[in-house]
Amino acid sequence: MSQEVRGIIARSKGTPVSTETIVIPEPGPDDVVVAIQACGVCHTDLHYREGGINDEFPFLLGHEAAGIVETIGDGVTHVAVGDFVILNWRAVCGECRACRRGEAQYCFDTHNASQKMTLTDGTELSPALGIGAFCEKTLVHQGQCTKVDPAAPASVAGLLGCGVMAGIGAAINTGGVRHGHSVAVFGCGGVGDAAIAGSKLAGASTIIAVDIDDRKLEWAQEFGATHVCNSATTDPVEFIRSVTDGNGADVCIEAIGHPEVYKQCFEARDLAGTVVLVGVPNPEMTVELPFIEIFGRGGALKSSWYGDCLPERDFPMLIDLYLQGRLDLGRFVSETIGLSDVEQAFHNMEQGEVLRSVVVL
Ligand SMILES: [Zn+2]
Ligand SMILES: [Zn+2]
């Protein structure tokens, strides 16, 4: 039977979001209805509302969520009713060319629910990143549900569904940060701070945080930065070299998505080091680099989508580390809010006042 719930919709480009009645259809064979307990507010939700992702309005926003499996389709074996799950936007297919060569983190054909959620007039909704979790319940594919230890609060667990996983994975999975490495992280919002936390987990000995906001640099130190550089007043390339014996960092992580910052990352990197781009550029941006330096410095220039994560491998492990007190996921939650506060949360995010606002249902 279909059911009606409340959810947050972006109806058209740039207009404030609204609370609407959403119709959740009966789940198809591989679909699951999840009762959402918490959902973080991510920059990508704002990008959807601004029309920066695509024009498929109206969007059902929210994608960084955790909740309880409520109803399952006939063919669902991956989760059971009552399971505590984190939702993911990388439900790997197992059959595309990336999956077949054993690199499912690059899966080119990830699964989503087989049916559309709608408004009460039948208008089909586009769920953000195939999830749509600023909503009392949502419909997803079973592979989008990753079961984790229910001892973790939903407000904390849900963060692994997007931004925090993107940052931790940018350091560990994409950047290959290991014990003894030096790491520089440019941009200390939620994703950058997660990259710092991930670098600390991996045993990096030098972790340099770069930002233009002293308050964010203080936060970065709480997550494990050993050095901080305010790049509004200090040249970050010179600073990074000065604290790495003149060499530069082994891994430089760009968590802004800006050409000038990317260049700084490129220049602040040691020979044979790795640059990881996890910040999202806009389509108009271009970057110019000395070609001979790209060759001469060796190493790797990489991009990190969703931290190159495999949800089934990474979410339960990171929740276990959280429960053991080794990863302070709770520090990312700046405020908990209600469904109707999402518009205000976008404003707070744009002002740089929060790491994460989390909707709690
Ligand atoms: Zn695949
Ligand atoms: Zn996100």
Residues 186, 70 share a domain:
no
pLDDT band at 282; cut points 50, 70, 90: confident
Residues 96, 198 share a domain:
no
Which ligand is the nearest neighbour of the Cα of 104? 1
Which ligand is the nearest neighbour of the Cα of 111? 1
Q: Please give all residues whose CB falls under 5 A of ion ligand 2, grouped by chain where several chains appear.
A: 42, 44, 162
pLDDT band at 283; cut points 50, 70, 90: confident
Residue 175's domain comprises: 167-305
> Structural domain tally of the chain?
2
Residues 218, 186 share a domain:
yes
Residues 134, 38 share a domain:
yes
CA of 328 to the centre of ligand 1 (A): 32
CA of 304 to the centre of ligand 2 (A): 13
Instruction: State the CATH number of the domain containing residue 103.
Output: 3.90.180.10
In the chain, what's the furthest Cα-to-Cα distance?
Answer: 65
Mean pLDDT of 181-185: 98
Rounded CA gap, 161 and 180, in Å? Answer: 28
Residues 155, 215 share a domain:
no
Residue 175 belongs to some domain of the structure: yes
Residues 24, 139 share a domain:
yes
Residue 318 belongs to some domain of the structure: no
Residues 279, 244 share a domain:
yes
CA of 180 to the centre of ligand 2 (A): 30
Tens of pLDDT along 32-44?
A: 999 999 999 999 9
Residue 302 β-bridge partners: 276
Residues 117, 172 share a domain:
no
CA of 109 to the centre of ligand 1 (A): 5
**Whole-structure pTM value:** 0.96
Rounded CA gap, 97 and 11, in Å? Answer: 36
Residue 104 belongs to some domain of the structure: yes
What proportions of the chain, in percent to the nearest 5, are helix, strand and coil?
30, 25, 40
